[in-house]
Structure formats: structure tokens, C-alpha cells
Amino acid sequence: MIENLFSLEGKVALVTGGAKGIGAMISQGLVESGAKVYVSSRSAEACENFAQEMSKIGQCAALPADLSSLENIDNLVKELTQKESKIDILINNAGATWGHPLGDFPEKGWDKVMNLNVKSIFFLTQAMLPLLRAAASKESPSRVVNISSIMAEMPFVMNSWSYSPSKAALKQMTRNLANELTKEQILVNCIGPGFFPTKMTAFMDKKQMAGIAPIGRGGQASDIAGLVIYLCSKAGSFMAGNFIPLDGGILMK
């Protein structure tokens, strides 16, 4: 039994923002666990290159898409539906941030972040429901994992005034979706990563990152991949509506 507890063999997943940063860490973990993974990204080149690299170790295919518009969301799901009759796992990772001082923070910095980090996740999940329902069963529920942030729970904005509210909204939306979908055997959970080495945290060096978390380091690929694999495998089949910080102890402070 234990050898199958964390296996994703035979599962099919879609990871948005899945070719870079935390998304790439998640995508690789899913591929290595046996899942067939579709990665979506705004950059078609990055998406294709990453999928080709992952195809050397498992099943991975690129589905480039800019999820900031409902039309693109619909087109992505239509393309996916042509390839698969069901989807076991949806990882809502695509997101954006915008840094600017409070006094003249622009409206477009609010709208872009809220639209991509909240609105697009809702409508992509909505559009994916037929595929998720097709895979769902009591023995093996479908999974939706939303990637929020510890910024949903702490006042550390770094001039990213729309980012923290968007991630807090995603945390609450996870609970609302779980309340609606758990009875359909679609389990929705949310992860709140701390500081991982990504483009978004490029302004910090390793020493700065290590100094923030009590554990004394930044996040690693195995940290986020391990938690996602747990939530999406048999091991996590009793998890629904949870917000799980993955921060090396930052929120304890």
C-alpha cells in the first residue's frame, strides 16, 4: 500500500504558469510522480521548451495561453478537451504582482493583479468542471490546488498593494469552492508558499531569503512539489477546503 500512497500514475494534470518558477517545480514533481502533465504559460517558447525537457523524464505537453481573458480561458479548455476526456488535477498557479509606492499606485496595477490572481482562477476552474467531474469518484476524487501566498495572512506588502488582497481572496475562494464541490468528489485546497527562488523574489539574495524564515533557508523545489503531490495523491484524499502555509515558519513570527 505504501508504495502507491503518493503515486500519481495514470493521472492527468493541468498546471497554469507551469513552465517557470514555482509552477515549474510543481510540474516536474507531478511528472516524476507518474502524472501526464499539461503546462500552460503566457510564453509559448518557455512552455514548449519546458515541456520538451520534462518529456525526457515522463509525459508532458505544452498548452500556451494567456489566462487574463475569458476568451483565452475558453480556448485553452476547448483545446484540452480535444486531447483528454477527463482531468484529475488542476493546479491554479498562474499569477502576477505589481510593485509601486502607495501614494501613486496605479489602477492598472490593481486590475491586472486581481484579474489574473482571482478572476481568471475562478473562471478557469468553472470551465474545467466538466473534465474534473468526468474524473471524479469516491475512490479517487479529482483535485484542485490553488497557489496563494503567505501574503494572504501577513502585512508584508513590499509595495505590492494588490498582491496580498488577491491572495487573501484566493484563500477564501478556495473555501467557497470546496464547500460547493466536495460533495461532487472534487477536492479543493490552497497552498500559501513563503519565499522561494523565483522571478518574483529575484530582488532577494539567498542570504536575505534565509534570514526571513526561522528554518534558515528559502523554499526548495522538493518542498512545494512534495506538498502538491500529497494533496493530489491517495495520501491527501481526505483534505478539502484547507489553506496550508509552506513558509519555513514565517507565520509563527
Mean pLDDT score of the chain: 94
pLDDT of 245 reads: 97
Cell (9 digits) for 24? 515549474
The answer to whether the CB of 49 falls within 8 A of the CB of 27 is no
- For the question of residue 163 being annotated catalytic, the response is yes
pLDDT at 253: 78
Contact call for residues 146 and 198 (beta carbons, < 8 A): no
Asked whether residue 223 carries a pLDDT value surpassing 80, the answer given is: yes
Alpha-carbon distance of 234 to 237, in angstroms, equals 5
Q: What does the alpha-carbon distance between residue 117 and residue 11 come to, in Å, rounded to a whole number? A: 26
Note whether 135 and 88 are within 8 A (CB).
Answer: yes
Binning pLDDT at 50, 70 and 90, where does residue 210 land?
low
Q: Which domain holds residue 42?
A: 2-252
* pLDDT tens readout for residues 68-119: 999 999 999 999 999 999 999 999 999 999 999 999 999 999 999 999 999 9
Q: What is the pLDDT of residue 211?
A: 73
Q: What is the pLDDT of residues 115-134, one digit of tens each?
A: 999 999 999 999 999 999 99
CA distance 64 to 202: 24
Query: Could you tell me the three cell numbers for 129?
Result: 468542471
How many Å apart are CA 91 and CA 6, to the nearest integer? 17
pLDDT at 207 over 80: no
Confidence of residue 49 (pLDDT cuts 50, 70, 90): very high
Q: Report the alpha-carbon distance of residue 237 to residue 215 in Å, rounded.
A: 28
Q: Which of 38, 50, 98, 163 is catalytic?
A: 163
At 201, which CATH number? 3.40.50.720
Angle at 230 between CA 55 and CA 143, to 5 degrees: 80
List Cα–Cα distances, 37 to 23, 49, 50, 201, in angstroms.
12, 14, 11, 26
What DSSP state is assigned to residue 86?
Answer: -
Residue 157 pLDDT greater than 80, yes or no: no
Q: Is residue 45 scored above 90 in pLDDT?
A: yes
- 3-class DSSP state of 62: strand
pLDDT at 42: 93
Compute the average pLDDT of residues 192-212: 74
Closest CA to 149 of 110, 188, 111, 191: 191
Query: Would you place residue 2 in the very low, low, confident or very high pLDDT band (cuts 50, 70, 90)?
Result: confident
CB atoms within 10 A of CB 161: 17
Quick one: pLDDT at residue 201? 65
Q: What percent of the chain has pLDDT over 70?
A: 94
Number of domains in the chain: 1
What's the one-letter identity of residue 27? S
Question: What is the pLDDT, as a whole number, of residue 124?
Answer: 98
Q: What DSSP string describes 12-52?
A: EEEEETTTSHHHHHHHHHHHHTT-EEEEE-S-HHHHHHHHH
| Residues in contact with 55: Cβ distance below 8 Å, sequence separation at least 6, in sequence order | 61
- Please, what is the Cα angle at 32 between 80 and 230, to 5 degrees? 85
